[in-house]
Structure 1
Amino acid sequence: MKAVPMKAVIAATIAALACGPALAEDTRQNPLTDSYIWTELRGDIVGDVEIADGAGAFEVDAPYRANDAATVPVTIRQTDPAVTIRGAKVVIDENPAPVAADFTFGPGMAPLDMEIRVRVNQYSNVRVIADTDRGALMTGRFVKASGGCSAPATRDPEQALAAMGQMRLKHFGQTPAMSTARREAQIMIRHPNYSGLQRDQVTQLFILAHFIDRLEVWQGDERLFTMAGGISISENPVFRFAYTDNGAPALRVVAHDTEGNRFERVLPKDGQI
Protein backbone atom coordinates (compact mmCIF):
# COMPACT_ATOMS: atom_id res chain seq x y z
CA MET A 1 0.00 0.00 0.00
CA LYS A 2 1.40 3.36 -1.00
CA ALA A 3 2.26 5.67 1.92
CA VAL A 4 0.37 8.93 2.20
CA PRO A 5 2.71 11.95 2.12
CA MET A 6 2.99 13.68 5.50
CA LYS A 7 2.15 17.04 3.91
CA ALA A 8 -1.18 15.65 2.70
CA VAL A 9 -2.00 14.32 6.19
CA ILE A 10 -1.22 17.68 7.77
CA ALA A 11 -3.28 19.55 5.16
CA ALA A 12 -6.25 17.23 5.68
CA THR A 13 -6.02 17.63 9.47
CA ILE A 14 -5.95 21.42 9.22
CA ALA A 15 -8.93 21.40 6.86
CA ALA A 16 -10.91 19.15 9.20
CA LEU A 17 -10.15 21.37 12.19
CA ALA A 18 -11.09 24.47 10.22
CA CYS A 19 -14.31 23.08 8.81
CA GLY A 20 -15.47 20.94 11.72
CA PRO A 21 -16.70 23.65 14.11
CA ALA A 22 -18.28 25.58 11.25
CA LEU A 23 -20.22 22.53 10.11
CA ALA A 24 -21.29 21.78 13.67
CA GLU A 25 -22.49 25.32 14.12
CA ASP A 26 -24.26 25.15 10.75
CA THR A 27 -26.42 22.25 11.93
CA ARG A 28 -27.04 23.36 15.53
CA GLN A 29 -27.32 27.12 15.47
CA ASN A 30 -30.22 28.30 13.34
CA PRO A 31 -31.93 31.12 15.21
CA LEU A 32 -34.72 33.24 13.77
CA THR A 33 -33.56 35.68 11.12
CA ASP A 34 -34.84 39.13 10.24
CA SER A 35 -37.94 38.79 8.08
CA TYR A 36 -39.93 41.49 6.37
CA ILE A 37 -42.64 38.86 5.82
CA TRP A 38 -43.14 38.61 9.58
CA THR A 39 -43.49 42.39 9.76
CA GLU A 40 -46.40 42.07 7.32
CA LEU A 41 -47.93 39.02 9.02
CA ARG A 42 -47.60 40.05 12.63
CA GLY A 43 -50.71 42.20 12.86
CA ASP A 44 -52.95 39.58 11.30
CA ILE A 45 -51.67 36.82 13.57
CA VAL A 46 -51.26 38.49 16.98
CA GLY A 47 -52.58 42.01 16.48
CA ASP A 48 -50.77 44.69 18.47
CA VAL A 49 -49.92 42.41 21.39
CA GLU A 50 -46.43 43.02 22.72
CA ILE A 51 -44.20 39.97 22.23
CA ALA A 52 -41.13 39.30 24.37
CA ASP A 53 -38.20 36.97 23.78
CA GLY A 54 -39.24 33.51 24.92
CA ALA A 55 -35.78 31.91 24.89
CA GLY A 56 -35.64 31.77 28.69
CA ALA A 57 -39.03 30.08 29.00
CA PHE A 58 -38.99 27.51 26.21
CA GLU A 59 -36.91 26.38 23.27
CA VAL A 60 -37.77 25.36 19.74
CA ASP A 61 -35.84 22.67 17.90
CA ALA A 62 -36.04 22.26 14.13
CA PRO A 63 -33.38 21.15 11.63
CA TYR A 64 -31.30 23.74 9.85
CA ARG A 65 -31.57 21.68 6.66
CA ALA A 66 -34.62 19.45 6.53
CA ASN A 67 -34.28 15.92 5.17
CA ASP A 68 -37.89 16.03 3.96
CA ALA A 69 -39.62 19.39 3.50
CA ALA A 70 -43.03 17.69 3.82
CA THR A 71 -42.33 16.28 7.30
CA VAL A 72 -40.12 18.70 9.21
CA PRO A 73 -39.99 17.92 12.95
CA VAL A 74 -40.56 20.89 15.26
CA THR A 75 -40.17 20.43 19.02
CA ILE A 76 -41.38 22.88 21.66
CA ARG A 77 -39.72 22.22 25.01
CA GLN A 78 -40.32 24.25 28.15
CA THR A 79 -37.13 25.19 29.98
CA ASP A 80 -38.59 27.26 32.82
CA PRO A 81 -41.23 25.22 34.69
CA ALA A 82 -42.33 28.33 36.60
CA VAL A 83 -43.93 29.73 33.43
CA THR A 84 -47.51 28.72 32.64
CA ILE A 85 -47.89 28.09 28.90
CA ARG A 86 -51.58 28.18 28.06
CA GLY A 87 -51.26 27.94 24.29
CA ALA A 88 -48.94 28.35 21.33
CA LYS A 89 -49.12 29.34 17.67
CA VAL A 90 -46.71 27.70 15.24
CA VAL A 91 -46.02 30.09 12.35
CA ILE A 92 -44.04 29.34 9.19
CA ASP A 93 -43.42 32.77 7.68
CA GLU A 94 -43.00 31.81 4.03
CA ASN A 95 -45.76 29.21 3.76
CA PRO A 96 -48.92 30.02 1.75
CA ALA A 97 -50.92 29.70 4.99
CA PRO A 98 -48.37 30.75 7.63
CA VAL A 99 -50.24 29.64 10.76
CA ALA A 100 -49.55 25.91 10.85
CA ALA A 101 -51.25 25.24 14.18
CA ASP A 102 -52.83 27.05 17.12
CA PHE A 103 -52.66 24.98 20.32
CA THR A 104 -54.43 25.31 23.65
CA PHE A 105 -52.91 23.31 26.51
CA GLY A 106 -54.45 21.89 29.64
CA PRO A 107 -52.58 21.69 32.99
CA GLY A 108 -51.60 18.06 32.34
CA MET A 109 -49.25 19.16 29.55
CA ALA A 110 -47.03 21.20 31.88
CA PRO A 111 -44.11 21.45 31.63
CA LEU A 112 -44.61 21.51 27.88
CA ASP A 113 -42.63 19.04 25.74
CA MET A 114 -44.20 18.46 22.33
CA GLU A 115 -43.16 17.57 18.79
CA ILE A 116 -45.16 18.02 15.60
CA ARG A 117 -44.31 17.59 11.92
CA VAL A 118 -44.93 20.36 9.43
CA ARG A 119 -44.54 21.25 5.77
CA VAL A 120 -42.08 24.00 4.88
CA ASN A 121 -42.56 25.47 1.41
CA GLN A 122 -39.34 27.49 1.14
CA TYR A 123 -36.49 28.71 3.32
CA SER A 124 -38.32 30.19 6.28
CA ASN A 125 -38.42 31.10 9.93
CA VAL A 126 -40.47 28.64 11.96
CA ARG A 127 -41.58 30.57 15.02
CA VAL A 128 -43.60 29.63 18.10
CA ILE A 129 -45.58 32.34 19.88
CA ALA A 130 -46.64 31.16 23.32
CA ASP A 131 -49.54 32.53 25.36
CA THR A 132 -48.24 32.54 28.94
CA ASP A 133 -48.89 34.02 32.35
CA ARG A 134 -46.04 36.41 31.54
CA GLY A 135 -47.55 37.58 28.27
CA ALA A 136 -46.76 36.58 24.70
CA LEU A 137 -43.31 35.01 24.29
CA MET A 138 -41.66 34.00 21.02
CA THR A 139 -38.69 32.05 19.79
CA GLY A 140 -38.01 29.73 16.85
CA ARG A 141 -35.64 28.45 14.20
CA PHE A 142 -34.69 29.19 10.61
CA VAL A 143 -35.20 26.12 8.43
CA LYS A 144 -33.80 25.49 4.96
CA ALA A 145 -36.40 23.43 3.10
CA SER A 146 -38.46 23.86 -0.04
CA GLY A 147 -41.45 22.32 -1.77
CA GLY A 148 -43.09 20.86 1.32
CA CYS A 149 -46.58 22.16 0.62
CA SER A 150 -46.66 20.84 -2.94
CA ALA A 151 -44.79 17.57 -2.35
CA PRO A 152 -46.74 14.57 -3.72
CA ALA A 153 -48.72 12.52 -1.25
CA THR A 154 -47.11 9.22 -0.33
CA ARG A 155 -50.27 7.20 -0.94
CA ASP A 156 -52.72 6.77 -3.78
CA PRO A 157 -55.72 9.06 -3.10
CA GLU A 158 -58.14 6.13 -2.90
CA GLN A 159 -55.95 4.33 -0.39
CA ALA A 160 -55.47 7.50 1.63
CA LEU A 161 -59.19 8.16 1.87
CA ALA A 162 -59.93 4.52 2.73
CA ALA A 163 -57.57 4.66 5.73
CA MET A 164 -58.63 8.14 6.82
CA GLY A 165 -59.40 8.46 10.51
CA GLN A 166 -57.38 5.47 11.71
CA MET A 167 -55.36 6.31 14.83
CA ARG A 168 -52.59 4.76 16.84
CA LEU A 169 -51.23 5.53 20.32
CA LYS A 170 -47.73 4.62 21.43
CA HIS A 171 -46.10 5.20 24.80
CA PHE A 172 -42.36 5.46 25.39
CA GLY A 173 -40.23 4.61 28.39
CA GLN A 174 -39.74 7.26 31.03
CA THR A 175 -36.56 9.28 30.97
CA PRO A 176 -34.60 9.89 34.20
CA ALA A 177 -35.78 13.51 34.18
CA MET A 178 -39.46 12.52 34.23
CA SER A 179 -41.43 11.97 37.43
CA THR A 180 -43.33 8.73 37.89
CA ALA A 181 -46.56 10.49 36.92
CA ARG A 182 -45.21 11.84 33.63
CA ARG A 183 -45.51 9.80 30.45
CA GLU A 184 -44.40 10.34 26.87
CA ALA A 185 -46.89 9.44 24.16
CA GLN A 186 -47.25 9.63 20.40
CA ILE A 187 -50.52 9.81 18.50
CA MET A 188 -50.58 9.15 14.77
CA ILE A 189 -53.67 9.93 12.68
CA ARG A 190 -54.20 8.63 9.16
CA HIS A 191 -55.25 11.55 7.00
CA PRO A 192 -53.87 12.84 3.67
CA ASN A 193 -54.04 16.44 4.91
CA TYR A 194 -54.06 17.69 1.32
CA SER A 195 -52.72 21.22 1.09
CA GLY A 196 -54.47 22.22 -2.15
CA LEU A 197 -51.06 22.67 -3.80
CA GLN A 198 -50.42 19.01 -4.64
CA ARG A 199 -51.13 17.39 -7.99
CA ASP A 200 -52.68 14.04 -8.71
CA GLN A 201 -49.76 12.03 -10.12
CA VAL A 202 -51.99 10.50 -12.82
CA THR A 203 -54.18 13.39 -13.99
CA GLN A 204 -51.77 16.19 -12.97
CA LEU A 205 -54.79 18.13 -11.70
CA PHE A 206 -54.57 19.88 -8.34
CA ILE A 207 -56.03 17.92 -5.43
CA LEU A 208 -58.47 20.05 -3.45
CA ALA A 209 -57.41 21.05 0.05
CA HIS A 210 -58.70 18.56 2.63
CA PHE A 211 -57.09 18.59 6.05
CA ILE A 212 -57.67 18.22 9.78
CA ASP A 213 -58.69 21.62 11.03
CA ARG A 214 -59.55 20.75 14.64
CA LEU A 215 -58.16 18.22 17.08
CA GLU A 216 -58.90 17.44 20.72
CA VAL A 217 -56.98 15.04 22.98
CA TRP A 218 -58.46 14.02 26.34
CA GLN A 219 -57.60 11.62 29.16
CA GLY A 220 -60.88 10.83 30.81
CA ASP A 221 -62.66 14.14 31.39
CA GLU A 222 -59.41 16.11 31.39
CA ARG A 223 -58.43 17.92 28.22
CA LEU A 224 -54.76 17.65 27.40
CA PHE A 225 -54.69 19.87 24.31
CA THR A 226 -56.65 21.14 21.35
CA MET A 227 -55.35 22.26 17.97
CA ALA A 228 -56.75 24.42 15.21
CA GLY A 229 -54.75 23.23 12.21
CA GLY A 230 -53.99 24.40 8.69
CA ILE A 231 -52.44 23.05 5.51
CA SER A 232 -48.93 23.11 6.94
CA ILE A 233 -49.45 20.11 9.23
CA SER A 234 -47.94 17.10 7.52
CA GLU A 235 -49.70 14.18 5.90
CA ASN A 236 -50.68 11.53 8.49
CA PRO A 237 -50.15 13.94 11.40
CA VAL A 238 -48.00 12.81 14.31
CA PHE A 239 -48.04 14.40 17.77
CA ARG A 240 -45.47 13.34 20.34
CA PHE A 241 -45.87 14.84 23.81
CA ALA A 242 -45.29 14.42 27.52
CA TYR A 243 -48.22 14.58 29.92
CA THR A 244 -49.14 13.92 33.55
CA ASP A 245 -51.06 10.65 33.83
CA ASN A 246 -54.24 11.13 35.85
CA GLY A 247 -55.01 7.42 36.01
CA ALA A 248 -57.60 7.32 33.24
CA PRO A 249 -57.28 4.05 31.27
CA ALA A 250 -57.31 5.65 27.82
CA LEU A 251 -56.79 8.76 25.75
CA ARG A 252 -59.69 9.97 23.64
CA VAL A 253 -58.92 11.72 20.38
CA VAL A 254 -61.47 13.71 18.38
CA ALA A 255 -60.51 15.07 14.96
CA HIS A 256 -62.54 17.15 12.51
CA ASP A 257 -61.57 17.91 8.94
CA THR A 258 -62.52 20.50 6.35
CA GLU A 259 -64.95 18.12 4.62
CA GLY A 260 -67.08 17.87 7.77
CA ASN A 261 -65.80 14.44 8.80
CA ARG A 262 -65.52 13.66 12.50
CA PHE A 263 -63.22 10.94 13.77
CA GLU A 264 -63.30 9.85 17.41
CA ARG A 265 -61.19 7.09 18.87
CA VAL A 266 -60.61 5.83 22.40
CA LEU A 267 -57.01 4.65 22.60
CA PRO A 268 -56.20 2.53 25.70
CA LYS A 269 -52.94 3.49 27.36
CA ASP A 270 -51.89 -0.15 27.57
CA GLY A 271 -52.10 -0.37 23.78
CA GLN A 272 -54.92 -2.91 23.73
CA ILE A 273 -57.97 -1.90 21.67
Structure 2
Amino acid sequence: MNIFHAIALTALIAGPVHSATDAVHNPLTDSESWTDLRGDITGEADIADGRSMFNVDAPYRADDAATVPIHITQTDPGIQIQGLKVVIDENPAPLAAEFTFGAAMAPLDLELRVRVNMYSNVRVIAETDKGLLMDGRYVKASGGCSAPASKNPELALASMGQMRLRQFEQPALMSTPRREAQIMIRHPNYSGLQRDQITQLFISAHFIDKIEVFQGDDMLWTMEGGISVSENPVFRFQYTDNGSTDLQVRATDTEGNVFEHTLPKDVQG
Protein backbone atom coordinates (compact mmCIF):
# COMPACT_ATOMS: atom_id res chain seq x y z
CA MET A 1 0.00 0.00 0.00
CA ASN A 2 1.59 3.33 -1.04
CA ILE A 3 1.46 6.49 1.05
CA PHE A 4 -1.43 8.01 -0.93
CA HIS A 5 -3.70 5.03 -0.22
CA ALA A 6 -2.50 4.73 3.39
CA ILE A 7 -3.18 8.39 4.20
CA ALA A 8 -6.57 8.23 2.51
CA LEU A 9 -7.50 5.24 4.69
CA THR A 10 -6.28 7.02 7.83
CA ALA A 11 -8.34 10.10 7.00
CA LEU A 12 -11.49 8.08 6.30
CA ILE A 13 -11.18 6.34 9.64
CA ALA A 14 -10.54 9.60 11.50
CA GLY A 15 -13.40 11.46 9.84
CA PRO A 16 -13.69 14.12 8.01
CA VAL A 17 -6.90 33.27 -12.22
CA HIS A 18 -5.12 34.35 -8.86
CA SER A 19 -5.43 37.51 -6.85
CA ALA A 20 -2.52 38.92 -4.86
CA THR A 21 -4.95 39.88 -2.10
CA ASP A 22 -5.86 36.22 -1.56
CA ALA A 23 -2.44 35.59 -0.04
CA VAL A 24 -3.15 38.27 2.58
CA HIS A 25 -6.67 37.17 3.49
CA ASN A 26 -6.44 33.39 3.58
CA PRO A 27 -3.39 32.24 5.56
CA LEU A 28 -3.20 28.74 7.02
CA THR A 29 -5.38 28.19 10.08
CA ASP A 30 -5.11 25.85 13.06
CA SER A 31 -6.07 22.33 12.03
CA GLU A 32 -6.66 19.24 14.14
CA SER A 33 -6.63 17.22 10.93
CA TRP A 34 -3.08 18.34 10.21
CA THR A 35 -2.03 17.37 13.73
CA ASP A 36 -3.33 13.85 13.02
CA LEU A 37 -1.84 13.66 9.50
CA ARG A 38 1.54 15.23 9.98
CA GLY A 39 3.31 12.10 11.21
CA ASP A 40 2.17 10.10 8.18
CA ILE A 41 3.36 12.77 5.76
CA THR A 42 6.57 14.13 7.25
CA GLY A 43 7.34 11.87 10.18
CA GLU A 44 9.10 13.59 13.08
CA ALA A 45 11.01 16.04 10.90
CA ASP A 46 10.97 19.70 11.87
CA ILE A 47 9.04 21.99 9.54
CA ALA A 48 10.00 25.67 9.37
CA ASP A 49 7.93 28.61 8.16
CA GLY A 50 8.59 28.92 4.44
CA ARG A 51 6.80 32.21 3.77
CA SER A 52 10.02 34.13 3.23
CA MET A 53 11.33 31.47 0.84
CA PHE A 54 8.35 30.70 -1.41
CA ASN A 55 4.74 31.71 -1.86
CA VAL A 56 1.57 29.67 -2.29
CA ASP A 57 -1.30 31.40 -4.08
CA ALA A 58 -4.81 29.92 -3.97
CA PRO A 59 -8.28 31.51 -4.02
CA TYR A 60 -10.02 32.26 -0.74
CA ARG A 61 -13.32 31.12 -2.31
CA ALA A 62 -12.90 28.69 -5.18
CA ASP A 63 -14.99 29.19 -8.31
CA ASP A 64 -14.96 25.42 -8.89
CA ALA A 65 -14.11 23.05 -6.03
CA ALA A 66 -13.08 20.37 -8.55
CA THR A 67 -10.42 22.54 -10.24
CA VAL A 68 -8.82 24.79 -7.63
CA PRO A 69 -5.61 26.44 -8.92
CA ILE A 70 -2.55 26.24 -6.66
CA HIS A 71 0.41 28.39 -7.71
CA ILE A 72 3.80 27.93 -6.03
CA THR A 73 6.54 30.49 -6.67
CA GLN A 74 10.03 30.57 -5.19
CA THR A 75 10.83 34.02 -3.80
CA ASP A 76 14.30 33.28 -2.38
CA PRO A 77 16.68 32.08 -5.13
CA GLY A 78 19.23 31.19 -2.46
CA ILE A 79 17.51 27.94 -1.54
CA GLN A 80 17.29 24.70 -3.50
CA ILE A 81 13.83 23.15 -3.68
CA GLN A 82 14.33 19.49 -4.49
CA GLY A 83 10.70 18.43 -4.05
CA LEU A 84 7.42 19.27 -2.44
CA LYS A 85 4.21 17.77 -1.12
CA VAL A 86 0.78 19.32 -1.64
CA VAL A 87 -1.55 18.50 1.26
CA ILE A 88 -5.28 19.28 1.54
CA ASP A 89 -6.07 18.72 5.21
CA GLU A 90 -9.77 17.87 4.97
CA ASN A 91 -9.77 15.81 1.78
CA PRO A 92 -10.46 12.05 1.93
CA ALA A 93 -6.96 11.62 0.47
CA PRO A 94 -5.08 14.62 1.94
CA LEU A 95 -1.75 14.04 0.17
CA ALA A 96 -2.71 15.36 -3.24
CA ALA A 97 0.66 15.19 -4.96
CA GLU A 98 4.36 14.69 -4.32
CA PHE A 99 6.86 16.29 -6.71
CA THR A 100 10.57 15.85 -7.38
CA PHE A 101 12.41 18.53 -9.37
CA GLY A 102 15.47 18.63 -11.59
CA ALA A 103 17.95 21.50 -11.60
CA ALA A 104 16.30 23.20 -14.60
CA MET A 105 13.15 23.92 -12.56
CA ALA A 106 14.99 26.39 -10.30
CA PRO A 107 13.83 28.90 -9.27
CA LEU A 108 10.52 27.10 -8.90
CA ASP A 109 7.34 28.40 -10.53
CA LEU A 110 4.64 25.73 -10.74
CA GLU A 111 0.85 25.68 -10.93
CA LEU A 112 -1.53 22.72 -10.72
CA ARG A 113 -5.24 22.16 -10.15
CA VAL A 114 -6.67 20.15 -7.28
CA ARG A 115 -9.97 19.04 -5.81
CA VAL A 116 -11.02 20.50 -2.45
CA ASN A 117 -13.77 18.54 -0.74
CA MET A 118 -14.59 20.93 2.13
CA TYR A 119 -13.26 24.14 3.66
CA SER A 120 -9.62 23.28 4.20
CA ASN A 121 -6.02 24.36 4.50
CA VAL A 122 -4.07 23.67 1.34
CA ARG A 123 -0.45 23.44 2.41
CA VAL A 124 2.77 23.01 0.46
CA ILE A 125 5.74 21.39 2.18
CA ALA A 126 9.00 21.97 0.33
CA GLU A 127 12.04 19.73 0.70
CA THR A 128 15.04 22.07 0.51
CA ASP A 129 18.73 22.25 1.31
CA LYS A 130 17.64 24.10 4.47
CA GLY A 131 15.23 21.37 5.58
CA LEU A 132 11.44 21.23 5.31
CA LEU A 133 9.64 24.52 4.77
CA MET A 134 5.88 25.10 4.66
CA ASP A 135 3.46 27.70 3.35
CA GLY A 136 -0.17 27.45 2.29
CA ARG A 137 -3.62 28.96 2.07
CA TYR A 138 -7.05 28.35 3.55
CA VAL A 139 -9.55 27.64 0.76
CA LYS A 140 -13.32 27.79 1.01
CA ALA A 141 -14.64 25.10 -1.33
CA SER A 142 -16.79 22.00 -0.98
CA GLY A 143 -17.71 18.91 -2.93
CA GLY A 144 -14.66 18.82 -5.18
CA CYS A 145 -13.90 15.11 -4.74
CA SER A 146 -17.49 14.02 -5.39
CA ALA A 147 -18.30 16.55 -8.12
CA PRO A 148 -19.79 14.87 -11.21
CA ALA A 149 -17.24 13.69 -13.72
CA SER A 150 -17.34 14.46 -17.44
CA LYS A 151 -20.83 14.47 -18.91
CA ASN A 152 -19.69 11.99 -21.57
CA PRO A 153 -17.78 9.16 -19.84
CA GLU A 154 -17.38 7.24 -23.11
CA LEU A 155 -15.61 10.22 -24.69
CA ALA A 156 -13.50 10.72 -21.55
CA LEU A 157 -12.25 7.15 -21.70
CA ALA A 158 -11.74 7.24 -25.47
CA SER A 159 -9.52 10.35 -25.23
CA MET A 160 -7.73 9.22 -22.08
CA GLY A 161 -3.99 9.78 -22.23
CA GLN A 162 -4.02 12.45 -24.93
CA MET A 163 -1.59 15.28 -24.15
CA ARG A 164 -0.98 18.82 -25.29
CA LEU A 165 1.95 21.17 -24.68
CA ARG A 166 1.74 24.96 -24.78
CA GLN A 167 4.84 27.14 -24.64
CA PHE A 168 4.58 30.80 -23.67
CA GLU A 169 6.82 33.56 -24.93
CA GLN A 170 9.33 34.99 -22.45
CA PRO A 171 10.73 38.55 -22.37
CA ALA A 172 13.54 39.00 -24.90
CA LEU A 173 15.82 40.63 -22.30
CA MET A 174 15.98 37.60 -20.02
CA SER A 175 19.62 36.62 -19.36
CA THR A 176 18.91 32.87 -19.24
CA PRO A 177 16.95 30.67 -21.67
CA ARG A 178 13.99 30.47 -19.29
CA ARG A 179 10.73 29.14 -20.72
CA GLU A 180 7.18 28.70 -19.51
CA ALA A 181 5.14 25.68 -20.51
CA GLN A 182 1.80 24.08 -19.81
CA ILE A 183 1.12 20.36 -20.09
CA MET A 184 -2.47 19.16 -20.31
CA ILE A 185 -3.36 15.47 -19.97
CA ARG A 186 -6.77 14.02 -20.77
CA HIS A 187 -7.86 11.69 -17.98
CA PRO A 188 -11.08 11.49 -15.89
CA ASN A 189 -9.06 10.96 -12.69
CA TYR A 190 -12.05 9.30 -11.05
CA SER A 191 -11.88 9.76 -7.29
CA GLY A 192 -14.07 6.82 -6.25
CA LEU A 193 -16.53 9.28 -4.67
CA GLN A 194 -18.39 10.22 -7.85
CA ARG A 195 -21.62 8.62 -9.05
CA ASP A 196 -22.60 7.53 -12.52
CA GLN A 197 -25.22 10.07 -13.56
CA ILE A 198 -27.46 7.34 -15.02
CA THR A 199 -27.10 4.38 -12.66
CA GLN A 200 -26.25 6.45 -9.56
CA LEU A 201 -23.67 3.80 -8.66
CA PHE A 202 -20.23 4.92 -7.49
CA ILE A 203 -17.56 5.00 -10.21
CA SER A 204 -14.45 3.09 -9.18
CA ALA A 205 -11.35 5.16 -8.47
CA HIS A 206 -9.15 5.40 -11.57
CA PHE A 207 -6.55 8.14 -11.66
CA ILE A 208 -3.07 9.09 -12.84
CA ASP A 209 -0.60 8.00 -10.18
CA LYS A 210 2.70 9.06 -11.75
CA ILE A 211 3.99 11.58 -14.29
CA GLU A 212 7.58 12.06 -15.52
CA VAL A 213 8.66 15.03 -17.64
CA PHE A 214 12.07 15.18 -19.35
CA GLN A 215 13.82 17.50 -21.81
CA GLY A 216 16.28 15.30 -23.61
CA ASP A 217 18.05 13.22 -20.96
CA ASP A 218 17.41 15.79 -18.21
CA MET A 219 14.57 15.28 -15.79
CA LEU A 220 12.41 18.37 -15.24
CA TRP A 221 9.95 16.99 -12.72
CA THR A 222 8.11 13.90 -11.59
CA MET A 223 4.84 13.66 -9.70
CA GLU A 224 3.18 10.91 -7.69
CA GLY A 225 -0.48 11.76 -7.34
CA GLY A 226 -3.74 10.68 -5.79
CA ILE A 227 -7.46 11.38 -6.17
CA SER A 228 -7.13 15.03 -5.16
CA VAL A 229 -5.55 16.03 -8.49
CA SER A 230 -8.24 17.40 -10.80
CA GLU A 231 -9.83 15.73 -13.79
CA ASN A 232 -7.84 16.37 -17.00
CA PRO A 233 -4.75 17.51 -15.06
CA VAL A 234 -3.00 20.73 -16.08
CA PHE A 235 0.50 21.73 -14.99
CA ARG A 236 2.03 25.10 -15.82
CA PHE A 237 5.70 25.65 -14.99
CA GLN A 238 8.88 27.52 -15.82
CA TYR A 239 12.16 25.81 -16.67
CA THR A 240 15.60 26.52 -18.09
CA ASP A 241 15.84 25.30 -21.67
CA ASN A 242 18.75 22.91 -22.31
CA GLY A 243 18.49 23.23 -26.10
CA SER A 244 16.62 20.00 -26.77
CA THR A 245 13.80 20.14 -29.31
CA ASP A 246 11.02 18.56 -27.28
CA LEU A 247 9.68 17.40 -23.93
CA GLN A 248 9.03 13.75 -23.21
CA VAL A 249 6.10 12.98 -20.93
CA ARG A 250 5.29 9.58 -19.45
CA ALA A 251 2.22 9.02 -17.29
CA THR A 252 0.78 5.91 -15.68
CA ASP A 253 -2.57 5.33 -14.00
CA THR A 254 -3.99 2.98 -11.41
CA GLU A 255 -5.35 0.63 -14.07
CA GLY A 256 -1.84 -0.02 -15.39
CA ASN A 257 -2.20 2.17 -18.48
CA VAL A 258 0.96 3.88 -19.75
CA PHE A 259 0.80 7.08 -21.79
CA GLU A 260 3.98 8.34 -23.47
CA HIS A 261 4.24 11.36 -25.72
CA THR A 262 6.99 13.48 -27.27
CA LEU A 263 5.81 17.09 -27.33
CA PRO A 264 7.72 19.59 -29.57
CA LYS A 265 8.82 22.73 -27.73
CA ASP A 266 8.05 25.04 -30.65
CA VAL A 267 4.29 25.02 -29.94
CA GLN A 268 3.37 28.52 -28.75
CA GLY A 269 0.42 29.51 -26.55
| TM-score higher than 0.5 | yes
Q: Distance in 2 between matches of 1:76 and 1:34?
A: 21
Q: Distance in 1 between matches of 2:92 and 2:262?
A: 34
Structure 2 counterpart of 1:106: 102
Aligned length: 249
Q: Secondary structure at the match of 1:38?
A: helix
Structure 2 counterpart of 1:201: 197
Which residue identity is paired with 2:31? S
Query: Which whole-Å deviations, capped at 9, do the CAs of 1:21-76 have from their partners, x for residues lacking one?
Result: xxx96785210000011000000110000000000110000000000000000001
Q: Distance in 1 between matches of 2:49 and 2:173?
A: 26
Q: Is the 8 A contact 2:162 2:186 kept in 1?
A: yes
Identity rate, percent: 72
In the TM superposition, what are the counterparts of 1:1-273 in structure 2 within 5 Å?
A: 28-175=24-171, 178-271=174-267
Q: Considering only aligned residues, what root-mean-square deviation do their CA atoms show, in Å?
A: 1.5
Q: Secondary structure at the match of 1:40?
A: helix
Which residue identity is paired with 1:136? L
Could you state the TM-score of these two structures normalised by the residue count of structure 1? Answer: 0.88
Q: Is the 8 A contact 1:100 1:231 kept in 2?
A: yes
| Distance 1:189-1:26 versus aligned 2 partners, 3 A rule | closer
Could you state the TM-score of these two structures normalised by the residue count of structure 2? Answer: 0.90
List runs of 5+ in structure 1 lacking aligned partners: 1-23
Larger Rg: 1
Q: Distance in 1 between matches of 2:233 and 2:82?
A: 22
Q: CA deviation at 1:142?
A: 0.2
List runs of 5+ in structure 2 lacking aligned partners: 1-19
Q: Distance in 1 between matches of 2:163 and 2:21?
A: 38
Q: Is the 8 A contact 1:27 1:65 kept in 2?
A: no
Q: Is the 8 A contact 2:23 2:58 kept in 1?
A: no
Q: Distance in 2 between matches of 1:51 and 1:28?
A: 22
| Distance 1:131-1:214 versus aligned 2 partners, 3 A rule | same
